[in-house]
Structure 1
Amino acid sequence: MKLYNIKKTTIIISLLIIVSCTDNFEEINTNPNGITPELFEQDFNHIKGGFAPMFNNIQVLTPEWVYQLQQGLNCDIWSGYMATPTPFAGGVNNTTYSLVDGWNGFIWDYAYRNVMFNAYDIANKTKDKYDQFYALSLILKVEGMHRVTDTFGPIIYSDFGSQASIIEYDSQEDVYNLMFEELDFAVAELTTRYNAGEESTFVSTDLSGYNGDYKAWVKFANTLRLRLAMRIVKVNPVLAKLEAEKAIAHEFGVMTVNEDLFKIVSPVYTNPIATISNSWLDIRMSADMESILRGYEDPRIASYFNISSQFLGEYKGVRTGIELIAKADHQDFSGIGEVVSSNEIVLMTTAEAYFLRAEGALRGWNMGGIAQDFYEQGIEMSFNQRGVSGAAAYKVDNVKTPIAYVDPNFSVNNSAPVNNVTIAWNDSDSNEIKLQKIITQKWIGGFPEGQEAWSDYRRTGYPKLFPVLVNYSGGTITTQFGPRRINFVQSERTNNPGGVASGVSKLGGPDNGGTRIWWDTTGPNF
């Protein structure tokens, strides 16, 4: 995407506002009670305006159909969280591995227009001048754009803002290295300001629930570093360990209580999944969620999903990648429940921090404790977050396992369970089984944020998910492993073909959904 296209749109909108609002421009311009440019800058309003679009488009909050294309009909489904009863495009679409360019372009375009552009604009206004804002914008930029590189692989990052005819893509490895450096700056800057007792200038602008608290933002940044460190464990284990231990060793550490979790608090919008599921009936509980949650008799199921309106008293999921004939065949299965009924969209849970530490400890890293304790604390934190009791008995259950999936309307979709592990930690288990348990509980606790769950699934292979029964990829995406990425988008192929070529050259394979990105290797987990 060319920056001048974004600038052009911004300029046109600005001109329309001027034409419509300033017929008496001279009078307004000389009004002694008006806001002068100097006063405008004193309140940092020339900076603050760029933050709201960043917050609101990490996950698109509105319109709901954009969220559906940005995330709902890709990673939310490929993660095993949700399924659709709707046979979009005659059933030949992302859910059956025929990737739809017209859908997937929204992932790239909304991130660059709203997250990357505003991060770039804020940097130009604040770097070396108002570095507290620059630091905060870097954390949001990393949170927003790591999702993009984890979807496509190579992306435009270091050259964003270039006016060259070809805007080069960075390799994913280079993007990650830059993100670690940006987190270094942000953490150091905000830590210094907090320790100096500086009053936050971000209170009125902060849509995270942190109320501008620099220490809370640092803990989020440290946990984000821990997430990214774990992502690269199979391709650069030395750097992964270094960055993970850096996050833990910082004086503020990582998230430890549920008040630390990172969320977007919208003053206007409810989670878009609520509309997509409960009004449009386009998203239902997945067969994987039914198998695992019902098998474990997991009490979180009641906050995650609604009881089926067709099968009263039951939670019933839809299997992904089946032949869908009519929407009515599955639309009355379980919809998404109260977890999406508020104006708070959680993008990183404190439970995730504990599960990351559990995996790190399992790998022998210094995480400040042992794997079992972190694993069990992660379960407890997730139960507490959802206001559910019973964690003490749940976490020591060594009997219950996932159940078979039964489609009451079409038996061809039935399957024996595939993620066959119990819940309780067992020191005699292999590291592989322990990892499967960690990621399975991390997957349950992270619902409904499908982007992170899809990344974990690609990195580890867990939790094990039901394979699709219908695969229209033409052989580019295997039924065994599912989509590994999304191909570069049409807007870039049209406006920046040389850049796309540079991205393909750094991808290491053809530009399709079956090519693995940098950190997604075929190597073992240990």
Structure 2
Amino acid sequence: MKLNNIKRTAICMSFLVAVSCTDNFQEINTNPNGFTPKELEQDFNHIKGGFAPIFNNIQVLGSQREDQYQLQQNLNSDIWSGYMATPTGFRGGLNNTTYDLTDGWNVAIWDIAYPNVMFNCWDIANKSKGKYDQFYALSLILKVEGMHRLTDTFGPIIYSQFGTGSSTIAYDSQEEVYDQMLKELDFAVTELTKRVDAGDDGKSSFGATDLTGYKGDFKAWVKFANTLRLRLAMRIVKVKPALAKIEAEKAVAHKFGVMTENSDLFQIVSPVSTNSIATISDGWLDIRMSADMESILKGYNDPRIATYFDKSVQFPGQYKGVRTGINIGGKGDHQDFSGIGAVVRSKNIVLMTTAEAYFLRAEGALRGWNMGGDAKSLYEQGIQSSFDQRGTSGAAAYIADNVKLPIAYVDPSFPENNGAPVNNVTIAWDAAATNEIKLQKIITQKWISGFPEGQEAWSDYRRTGYPKLLPVLVNNSGGKISTELGVRRINFVQSERTNNKGGVDTGLAKLGGPDNGGTRLWWDTTGSNF
């Protein structure tokens, strides 16, 4: 890991006060090639130039930026989701993995999102709203995709008040953020659908700018927006069940619907580098397979394991994971366990799979919603979609298996890290099972299919409690974070406390608990899932 300070953006020190900083606006909006504003406006270049930094920072992309991704996501949600673990005892073992939340790391999540994602969405909106609404609609979809990750990390965030230029920028509650995001998706879907119906497919106007696999196709963007709405609807199912049903059914019933083919999945096709995880795993040896992944994938004899992970160097021919939240004597103790595999050695960074859409619909059908199919068939289509996406055979036999279960985790070097299996469900659908067991099956397979996108997996784990994960053995939170429940959120960041203290105070008032990692978010409630 490169623990050098992340270079802070020039958007004043507090990026929110930044939106009123004339000097910085000049810097941001001056074309380095010397084109005049009039020349930039040809072919909408003055608008389209803002999309690249959004694409490149929802998850940080680019060579020599891997340390930023490591702090943005890898050393928090990628680990707390149960996907990955680190063999490195950062800060003498006092770090995120042992629930001593590290403010100097976690500030990156906030300080990357606002100047790169939020600012550029705001800037595109100012230049296009009411004039070139196709670009405004696209910016709204990307804004929701980028910023729902932030509110699902911190809770209250700056959203509706971004760009006001006030010395104190108030936070919105998470409920307020979600309400606005759903309305923004309404506008975007309506606008782009209207354009497709009028014969504008978007490819000529946006294709060269689009760094996703969609190549500017507005219909594909609408299907992604609908699936994103379905994701947000399911997130709020325990706090606003009636609204969740309305929004989910709206997404599925739309004329273009949600993702159904693997060509529909949402990915950033990076022109510059492979997934940052490849460097963090292969080059730095800072991230390994998790004990939970070993327990579940090996127990199910899941063939996707060969795509997800490399076999251990220390134990040839075996997949070996590392348990999170353990005493680490030295990096060499576990660094030669299984690294992350071929799935991250690609320039295509997948942020939403088609399999996820099927699993979301399966959960909706389980709840009695109209999802265009029954829970069993949608669940099985989700598994098949994931196998197809990974180029893996054997889905039919896997789907029918009602015997195999996760296995115990064994640390061959340090038996004190061993653990009995905890996510004890089989794969095959069981019509006689309770809804909780059925949901556990759905979320377990959704978890497997979503690898390596840890942000969404962590959110699902907090919302549902599934898949059940091995608890940490070392908890350095001082009682703030439950060993049983794990980290629920991240503290408000120091850059905001320094530059927008009044705004942070508004966030604290809307948080519903102390500003620590044990406080649940608005949608993360106690009680059963049904």
The Cα shift of 1:17 comes to: 7.5
What pairs up with 1:377-526 in 2 under 5 angstroms? 377-526=381-530
Q: TM-score by structure 2 length?
A: 0.95
Check if 1:136 corresponds to 2:138: yes
Are residues 10 and 432 of structure 1, via their aligned partners in 2, closer, same or farther at CA, if it must alter by over 3 Å?
Answer: same
Alpha-carbon distance in structure 1 between the residues aligned to 2:201 and 2:137: 15
Alpha-carbon distance in structure 2 between the residues aligned to 1:463 and 1:8: 49
2:54 maps to what in 1?
A: 54
Q: Return the letter of the residue paired with 2:245.
A: K
Alpha-carbon distance in structure 1 between the residues aligned to 2:22 and 2:104: 23
The Cα shift of 1:295 comes to: 0.2
Check if 1:243 corresponds to 2:247: yes
Check if 1:358 corresponds to 2:362: yes
2:216 maps to what in 1?
A: 212
1:291 maps to what in 2?
A: 295
Conservation of the 8 A alpha-carbon contact between 1:266 and 1:343: yes
The Cα shift of 1:5 comes to: 2.9
The match for 1:69 among 54, 58, 71 is 71
**SS of the counterpart of 2:351?**
strand
**SS of the counterpart of 2:442?**
helix
The Cα shift of 1:524 comes to: 1.1
Alpha-carbon distance in structure 2 between the residues aligned to 1:137 and 1:86: 38
**SS of the counterpart of 1:264?**
strand
CA offsets, 1:215-247, max 9 Å, x none? 000000000000000000000000000000000
The Cα shift of 1:13 comes to: 3.9
2:376 maps to what in 1?
A: 372
Alpha-carbon distance in structure 2 between the residues aligned to 1:357 and 1:115: 29
- Which structure 2 segments of 5+ residues have no match? 1-13
Conservation of the 8 A alpha-carbon contact between 1:209 and 1:263: yes
Counting matched residue pairs gives 512
Are residues 359 and 9 of structure 1, via their aligned partners in 2, closer, same or farther at CA, if it must alter by over 3 Å?
Answer: farther
Alpha-carbon distance in structure 1 between the residues aligned to 2:428 and 2:277: 32
Which shifted more, 80-89 or 54-63?
54-63
Are residues 349 and 9 of structure 1, via their aligned partners in 2, closer, same or farther at CA, if it must alter by over 3 Å?
Answer: farther
1:181 maps to what in 2?
A: 183
CA offsets, 1:173-230, max 9 Å, x none? 0000000000000000000000100252111110111010000000000000000000
The match for 2:84 among 79, 82, 85 is 82
- Which structure 1 segments of 5+ residues have no match? 23-34
Check if 1:3 corresponds to 2:7: no
Alpha-carbon distance in structure 2 between the residues aligned to 1:318 and 1:352: 26
The Cα shift of 1:2 comes to: 4.2
The Cα shift of 1:38 comes to: 3.4
CA offsets, 1:11-55, max 9 Å, x none? 47469977xx77xxxxxxxxxxxx664342121110011000101
Are residues 8 and 421 of structure 1, via their aligned partners in 2, closer, same or farther at CA, if it must alter by over 3 Å?
Answer: farther
Alpha-carbon distance in structure 1 between the residues aligned to 2:315 and 2:292: 18
Are residues 9 and 259 of structure 1, via their aligned partners in 2, closer, same or farther at CA, if it must alter by over 3 Å?
Answer: farther
What pairs up with 1:209-288 in 2 under 5 angstroms? 209-288=213-292
Q: Return the letter of the residue paired with 2:18.
A: N
Alpha-carbon distance in structure 2 between the residues aligned to 1:89 and 1:471: 14
Alpha-carbon distance in structure 1 between the residues aligned to 2:241 and 2:315: 48
**SS of the counterpart of 2:268?**
strand
The match for 1:154 among 142, 156, 181 is 156
**SS of the counterpart of 1:204?**
coil
Alpha-carbon distance in structure 1 between the residues aligned to 2:15 and 2:321: 42
Q: Return the letter of the residue paired with 1:75.
A: S
1:343 maps to what in 2?
A: 347
The Cα shift of 1:170 comes to: 0.3
Are residues 14 and 389 of structure 1, via their aligned partners in 2, closer, same or farther at CA, if it must alter by over 3 Å?
Answer: closer
Conservation of the 8 A alpha-carbon contact between 1:2 and 1:496: no
Alpha-carbon distance in structure 1 between the residues aligned to 2:471 and 2:26: 48
Are residues 194 and 471 of structure 1, via their aligned partners in 2, closer, same or farther at CA, if it must alter by over 3 Å?
Answer: same
The Cα shift of 1:8 comes to: 6.0
Q: TM-score by structure 1 length?
A: 0.96
Conservation of the 8 A alpha-carbon contact between 1:308 and 1:316: yes
Q: Return the letter of the residue paired with 1:318.
A: V
Q: Return the letter of the residue paired with 1:5.
A: A
Q: Return the letter of the residue paired with 1:377.
A: Q
1:29 maps to what in 2?
A: none
2:38 maps to what in 1?
A: 38
Could you say which structure has the larger radius of gyration? 1
Q: Return the letter of the residue paired with 1:128.
A: G
Are residues 15 and 478 of structure 1, via their aligned partners in 2, closer, same or farther at CA, if it must alter by over 3 Å?
Answer: closer
Alpha-carbon distance in structure 1 between the residues aligned to 2:179 and 2:518: 25
Alpha-carbon distance in structure 2 between the residues aligned to 1:447 and 1:247: 24
Alpha-carbon distance in structure 2 between the residues aligned to 1:77 and 1:489: 20
Q: CA RMSD in A?
A: 1.4
Q: Return the letter of the residue paired with 1:458.
A: R
Alpha-carbon distance in structure 2 between the residues aligned to 1:15 and 1:77: 37
Are residues 466 and 408 of structure 1, via their aligned partners in 2, closer, same or farther at CA, if it must alter by over 3 Å?
Answer: same
Alpha-carbon distance in structure 2 between the residues aligned to 1:36 and 1:99: 46
1:27 maps to what in 2?
A: none
**Sequence identity percentage:** 74
Are residues 17 and 58 of structure 1, via their aligned partners in 2, closer, same or farther at CA, if it must alter by over 3 Å?
Answer: closer
CA offsets, 1:145-196, max 9 Å, x none? 0000000000000000012221100000000000000000000000000010
2:8 maps to what in 1?
A: none
